[in-house]
Amino acid sequence: MRPGCCYLSSRDLKPTNILLGDEGQPVLMDLGSMNQARICVEGSRQALALQDWAAQRCTISYRAPELFSVQSHCVIDERTDVWSLGCVLYAMMFGEGPYDMVFQKGDSVALAVQNQLRIPQSPRHSLALRQLLASMMTVDPQQRPHIPFLLSQLEALQPPAPGQHTTQI
C-alpha cells in the first residue's frame, strides 16, 4: 500500500467520480469532498457540523449510514469510503447502485441505509465476491472492514496469472 493512502478520505466515491486511465487503472475525480480520514467527533455541535457538511458534499445514494446521523463522541474514519466503494462495486455487479431506485422514487435513502442490504444471488458472481460486497455494505461502521483487509481480499479474488496453475476449483 502506498504511504499516506489511509490519511485522506474521498467521502464521495461514486461511479461518475471514477475514470479509467490509459492502462485501465482507476483515477479518482472531483476531490472536493476529500478530507482527513479519521475525524474524532467530540460533541453535538461538531456532529451536526459534520452531518451538514456530508449532506452538502456527499452523494446521497453513496453516503455511508454514519454520515446521515453523526453521533456525538464518535470516530468517523476511512470506512465511510469502504461503504461508498461497496456501492460502486454493487453498481458494477448489478448495473445500478443499491440505493439509486430508492432515491429516484423519492423514498428516504437515510432510512434505507439503516437496514442491512440484501445482495442479489447471481451465478455471474462468486460467493467470495458477494461476501466481500456484503462486508463492505455492513451498516455498523465498526464491523465494516478496513482498507488493508479489503486489499488482501481483492488480491485473493484475482485469477491466477497466465501460465500459473491453481488447485482451486
Cell of 42: 467530540
The residue with cell 461538531 is 46
Catalytic residue among 12, 52, 77, 107: 12
Q: Which of 130, 19, 14 is nearest to 81 (CA)?
A: 14
Known catalytic residue: 12? yes
3-state helix, strand, coil in the chain (%, to 5): 40, 10, 50
Q: How many CB atoms lie within 10 A of CB 64?
A: 24
Q: How many CA atoms lie within 13 A of 163 on its CB side?
A: 0
Positions marked catalytic: 12
